[in-house]
Amino acid sequence: MTIYGYKRVSTDEQVKGTSLQTQQTIIEGVAKSNLLDENAIVWLEDAGVSGAKDGECFYTRPAIKDIKFESGDIIIVSDTDRFNRDAIDSLVTVKDFIERGISLYINGFGNVCDPANIHSNFMMKQMAVFAEYEKMKIKERQRRGIKEKRERGGYLGGKIPWGCEKIGLGKKSVLQEKPERRRAIEAMVRLNADGKGSRPIAEYVSNKFLKVTHQTVIHLLDELGCKKGQPV
Protein backbone atom coordinates (compact mmCIF):
# COMPACT_ATOMS: atom_id res chain seq x y z
CA MET A 1 0.00 0.00 0.00
CA THR A 2 1.25 3.46 -0.92
CA ILE A 3 -0.15 6.75 0.37
CA TYR A 4 -0.01 9.50 -2.25
CA GLY A 5 -0.49 13.20 -1.58
CA TYR A 6 -1.50 15.03 -4.74
CA LYS A 7 -0.98 18.81 -5.02
CA ARG A 8 -1.79 21.03 -8.02
CA VAL A 9 -1.81 24.72 -8.86
CA SER A 10 -2.19 26.43 -12.21
CA THR A 11 0.09 29.27 -13.29
CA ASP A 12 -2.65 31.82 -12.54
CA GLU A 13 -3.22 30.34 -9.08
CA GLN A 14 0.50 30.52 -8.33
CA VAL A 15 0.45 34.21 -9.20
CA LYS A 16 -2.55 34.75 -6.94
CA GLY A 17 -0.74 33.07 -4.06
CA THR A 18 -2.43 29.65 -3.95
CA SER A 19 0.15 27.62 -2.07
CA LEU A 20 1.38 24.09 -2.67
CA GLN A 21 2.66 24.17 0.91
CA THR A 22 -0.83 24.96 2.21
CA GLN A 23 -2.20 21.97 0.29
CA GLN A 24 0.54 19.78 1.77
CA THR A 25 -0.35 20.87 5.30
CA ILE A 26 -4.03 20.06 4.67
CA ILE A 27 -3.19 16.67 3.17
CA GLU A 28 -1.00 15.79 6.16
CA GLY A 29 -3.90 16.77 8.43
CA VAL A 30 -6.27 14.50 6.49
CA ALA A 31 -3.79 11.63 6.87
CA LYS A 32 -3.51 12.16 10.64
CA SER A 33 -7.27 12.39 11.16
CA ASN A 34 -7.72 9.09 9.32
CA LEU A 35 -4.93 7.36 11.29
CA LEU A 36 -2.61 7.26 8.29
CA ASP A 37 1.13 7.84 8.54
CA GLU A 38 1.74 11.36 7.16
CA ASN A 39 5.49 10.65 7.12
CA ALA A 40 4.96 7.85 4.61
CA ILE A 41 3.22 10.06 2.04
CA VAL A 42 4.64 9.99 -1.49
CA TRP A 43 4.15 13.49 -2.89
CA LEU A 44 2.86 14.06 -6.41
CA GLU A 45 3.02 17.69 -7.49
CA ASP A 46 1.73 19.48 -10.59
CA ALA A 47 2.87 23.10 -10.43
CA GLY A 48 1.57 25.35 -13.20
CA VAL A 49 -0.84 22.73 -14.54
CA SER A 50 -4.31 24.01 -15.29
CA GLY A 51 -7.36 22.09 -14.17
CA ALA A 52 -9.52 24.01 -16.64
CA LYS A 53 -8.38 22.54 -19.95
CA ASP A 54 -10.93 20.93 -22.23
CA GLY A 55 -10.56 17.17 -22.35
CA GLU A 56 -8.65 17.15 -19.06
CA CYS A 57 -7.90 13.67 -17.73
CA PHE A 58 -6.55 12.97 -14.24
CA TYR A 59 -4.44 10.06 -15.43
CA THR A 60 -2.61 12.10 -18.10
CA ARG A 61 -1.31 14.86 -15.80
CA PRO A 62 2.50 15.12 -15.64
CA ALA A 63 2.80 13.96 -12.02
CA ILE A 64 0.30 11.12 -12.49
CA LYS A 65 0.87 9.63 -15.94
CA ASP A 66 3.80 7.38 -14.95
CA ILE A 67 2.33 6.20 -11.64
CA LYS A 68 1.01 2.62 -11.53
CA PHE A 69 -1.67 2.77 -8.86
CA GLU A 70 -2.43 -0.58 -7.26
CA SER A 71 -5.18 -2.05 -5.11
CA GLY A 72 -4.86 -0.75 -1.56
CA ASP A 73 -3.22 2.55 -2.57
CA ILE A 74 -4.53 5.77 -1.07
CA ILE A 75 -4.65 9.18 -2.76
CA ILE A 76 -5.23 12.31 -0.68
CA VAL A 77 -6.10 15.77 -2.05
CA SER A 78 -6.81 19.03 -0.25
CA ASP A 79 -9.97 19.91 -2.19
CA THR A 80 -12.27 18.63 -4.92
CA ASP A 81 -11.00 21.06 -7.56
CA ARG A 82 -7.37 20.07 -6.85
CA PHE A 83 -8.37 16.57 -7.91
CA ASN A 84 -10.38 17.53 -10.99
CA ARG A 85 -12.37 20.33 -12.61
CA ASP A 86 -14.03 18.07 -15.15
CA ALA A 87 -17.20 16.51 -13.75
CA ILE A 88 -17.30 13.53 -16.13
CA ASP A 89 -13.63 12.65 -15.75
CA SER A 90 -13.92 13.09 -11.98
CA LEU A 91 -16.78 10.60 -11.75
CA VAL A 92 -15.21 8.15 -14.21
CA THR A 93 -11.89 8.25 -12.33
CA VAL A 94 -13.55 7.68 -8.95
CA LYS A 95 -15.52 4.76 -10.41
CA ASP A 96 -12.24 3.32 -11.71
CA PHE A 97 -10.64 3.78 -8.27
CA ILE A 98 -13.50 1.88 -6.63
CA GLU A 99 -13.26 -1.00 -9.11
CA ARG A 100 -9.49 -1.21 -8.61
CA GLY A 101 -9.60 -1.00 -4.82
CA ILE A 102 -7.96 2.47 -4.63
CA SER A 103 -9.05 4.98 -1.97
CA LEU A 104 -9.46 8.72 -2.58
CA TYR A 105 -9.50 10.95 0.48
CA ILE A 106 -10.70 14.52 -0.10
CA ASN A 107 -10.44 17.03 2.72
CA GLY A 108 -13.89 17.40 4.30
CA PHE A 109 -15.32 14.33 2.56
CA GLY A 110 -13.25 11.40 3.81
CA ASN A 111 -12.77 8.39 1.56
CA VAL A 112 -15.21 8.99 -1.28
CA CYS A 113 -14.47 5.50 -2.63
CA ASP A 114 -15.82 3.83 0.51
CA PRO A 115 -19.27 2.32 -0.32
CA ALA A 116 -20.33 3.01 3.29
CA ASN A 117 -19.52 6.72 2.91
CA ILE A 118 -22.74 7.43 1.01
CA HIS A 119 -23.18 11.06 2.07
CA SER A 120 -19.63 12.14 1.17
CA ASN A 121 -19.74 10.26 -2.14
CA PHE A 122 -22.95 12.10 -3.02
CA MET A 123 -21.49 15.46 -1.96
CA MET A 124 -18.30 14.81 -3.92
CA LYS A 125 -20.38 14.32 -7.07
CA GLN A 126 -22.15 17.62 -6.47
CA MET A 127 -18.82 19.37 -5.87
CA ALA A 128 -17.47 17.89 -9.11
CA VAL A 129 -20.27 19.64 -10.97
CA PHE A 130 -19.51 22.92 -9.18
CA ALA A 131 -15.79 22.50 -9.99
CA GLU A 132 -16.65 22.15 -13.68
CA TYR A 133 -18.91 25.20 -13.45
CA GLU A 134 -15.97 27.14 -12.00
CA LYS A 135 -13.85 25.87 -14.91
CA MET A 136 -16.40 27.30 -17.33
CA LYS A 137 -16.31 30.63 -15.47
CA ILE A 138 -12.50 30.68 -15.67
CA LYS A 139 -12.59 30.12 -19.44
CA GLU A 140 -15.25 32.81 -19.85
CA ARG A 141 -13.14 35.30 -17.87
CA GLN A 142 -10.16 34.44 -20.07
CA ARG A 143 -12.17 34.95 -23.27
CA ARG A 144 -13.57 38.24 -21.99
CA GLY A 145 -10.14 39.43 -20.89
CA ILE A 146 -8.59 38.60 -24.26
CA LYS A 147 -11.45 40.31 -26.10
CA GLU A 148 -11.19 43.46 -23.97
CA LYS A 149 -7.42 43.57 -24.32
CA ARG A 150 -7.63 43.13 -28.08
CA GLU A 151 -10.18 45.94 -28.31
CA ARG A 152 -7.90 48.34 -26.48
CA GLY A 153 -4.83 47.23 -28.42
CA GLY A 154 -3.40 44.98 -25.73
CA TYR A 155 -0.49 42.68 -26.52
CA LEU A 156 -1.68 39.05 -26.29
CA GLY A 157 1.72 37.45 -26.70
CA GLY A 158 3.45 35.78 -29.62
CA LYS A 159 5.48 37.32 -32.42
CA ILE A 160 5.31 41.10 -32.62
CA PRO A 161 4.06 42.18 -36.09
CA TRP A 162 6.54 43.93 -38.35
CA GLY A 163 6.65 47.67 -37.80
CA CYS A 164 5.13 47.47 -34.33
CA GLU A 165 6.62 47.57 -30.85
CA LYS A 166 5.55 46.47 -27.39
CA ILE A 167 4.96 49.26 -24.90
CA GLY A 168 4.81 48.50 -21.17
CA LEU A 169 5.30 45.34 -19.16
CA GLY A 170 3.28 42.26 -18.31
CA LYS A 171 -0.49 42.28 -18.61
CA LYS A 172 -0.54 46.05 -19.15
CA SER A 173 1.64 45.88 -22.26
CA VAL A 174 0.18 47.03 -25.57
CA LEU A 175 1.26 46.93 -29.20
CA GLN A 176 1.91 50.23 -30.88
CA GLU A 177 2.52 50.86 -34.56
CA LYS A 178 5.74 52.69 -35.33
CA PRO A 179 5.22 56.04 -37.13
CA GLU A 180 7.16 54.89 -40.20
CA ARG A 181 5.18 51.69 -40.72
CA ARG A 182 2.28 53.15 -42.65
CA ARG A 183 4.54 55.16 -44.99
CA ALA A 184 6.75 52.09 -45.47
CA ILE A 185 3.77 49.98 -46.54
CA GLU A 186 2.60 52.74 -48.90
CA ALA A 187 6.06 52.71 -50.46
CA MET A 188 5.93 48.92 -50.86
CA VAL A 189 2.58 49.15 -52.65
CA ARG A 190 3.80 51.97 -54.92
CA LEU A 191 7.04 50.22 -55.88
CA ASN A 192 5.23 46.94 -56.42
CA ALA A 193 2.81 48.72 -58.77
CA ASP A 194 5.85 50.03 -60.64
CA GLY A 195 6.98 46.45 -61.21
CA LYS A 196 9.77 46.32 -58.64
CA GLY A 197 10.65 42.96 -57.08
CA SER A 198 10.51 42.14 -53.40
CA ARG A 199 14.29 42.44 -52.87
CA PRO A 200 14.64 45.96 -54.34
CA ILE A 201 11.53 46.99 -52.41
CA ALA A 202 12.98 45.61 -49.18
CA GLU A 203 16.27 47.41 -49.78
CA TYR A 204 14.52 50.73 -50.46
CA VAL A 205 12.19 50.49 -47.44
CA SER A 206 15.06 49.40 -45.15
CA ASN A 207 17.14 52.42 -46.15
CA LYS A 208 14.26 54.91 -46.15
CA PHE A 209 11.94 53.77 -43.34
CA LEU A 210 12.26 50.50 -41.40
CA LYS A 211 14.45 47.45 -41.84
CA VAL A 212 12.51 44.70 -43.56
CA THR A 213 13.23 41.40 -45.31
CA HIS A 214 12.03 40.58 -48.79
CA GLN A 215 9.98 37.68 -47.31
CA THR A 216 8.11 40.16 -45.12
CA VAL A 217 7.51 42.39 -48.14
CA ILE A 218 6.00 39.43 -50.01
CA HIS A 219 3.82 38.56 -47.00
CA LEU A 220 2.54 42.11 -46.51
CA LEU A 221 1.77 42.64 -50.19
CA ASP A 222 0.01 39.30 -50.32
CA GLU A 223 -2.14 40.29 -47.31
CA LEU A 224 -3.08 43.49 -49.15
CA GLY A 225 -3.97 41.52 -52.28
CA CYS A 226 -1.31 43.28 -54.39
CA LYS A 227 -0.11 41.76 -57.65
CA LYS A 228 3.15 42.82 -59.19
CA GLY A 229 2.74 45.73 -61.57
CA GLN A 230 -0.81 46.43 -60.41
CA PRO A 231 -1.92 49.08 -57.91
CA VAL A 232 -4.24 48.13 -55.07
Is the predicted pLDDT of residue 115 greater than 90, yes or no?
A: no
Cβ burial of 6 (10 Å; 0-12, 13-18, 19+) is: buried
According to the model, what pLDDT value does residue 15 have?
Answer: 42
- Does 155 map to a domain? no
The residue among 43 and 188 whose pLDDT is bigger is 43
Is it the case that residue 77 has pLDDT exceeding 70? Answer: yes
CATH of the domain at 119: 3.40.50.1390
Specify whether 102 is located in the same domain as 196.
Answer: no
Q: What is the per-residue pLDDT across 41-67, written as a single tens digit (0 to 9) for each?
A: 999 999 877 655 545 688 999 999 999
In a domain, 36, yes or no: yes
Residue 133 has pLDDT above 70, yes or no: no
d(CA 232, CA 230): 7
User: Is 129:52 a contact under the CB 8 Å cutoff?
Assistant: no
- Same domain assignment for residues 7 and 103: yes
- Give the pLDDT confidence of 207-216 residue by residue, as tens digits: 989 999 999 9
121-126: long-range contacts at Cβ-Cβ below 8 A with a sequence spacing of 24 or more?
A: 124/80, 124/94, 125/91
Supply the DSSP symbol for 111.
Answer: E
Query: What pLDDT, on a 0 to 100 scale, did the predictor assign at position 138?
Result: 53
| pLDDT score recorded for residue 31 | 96
Residue 92 φ then ψ, to 5°: -65, -40
CB 102 within 8 A of CB 73: yes
Could you tell me if residue 152 is inside a domain?
Answer: no
In terms of residue numbers, what domain contains 91? Answer: 3-147
> Is 70's pLDDT higher than 60?
yes
Q: Please state, rounded to an integer, the average pLDDT across all residues of the chain.
A: 79
Residue at which a domain ends, from 147, 173, 199: 147
Of 113, 147, 181, the position where a domain reaches its end is 147
Do 118 and 171 fall within a single domain? no
Task: Looking at the structure, tell me whether residues 56 and 88 fall in a common domain.
Answer: yes
Please give the residue that has the higher pLDDT: either 201 or 160. Answer: 201
Same domain, 72 and 119: yes
Q: How many domains does the chain contain in total?
A: 2
pLDDT at residue 170, rounded to an integer: 59
- Structural domain includes residue 156: no
The pLDDT value recorded for residue 232 is 45
* pLDDT value at 32 more than 60: yes
DSSP 163-202: TEEEESSGGG-EEEE-HHHHHHHHHHHHHHHTT--HHHHH
Looking at the fold, whether 141 and 225 belong to one and the same domain comes out as: no
Claim: this prediction has a pTM higher than 0.75: no
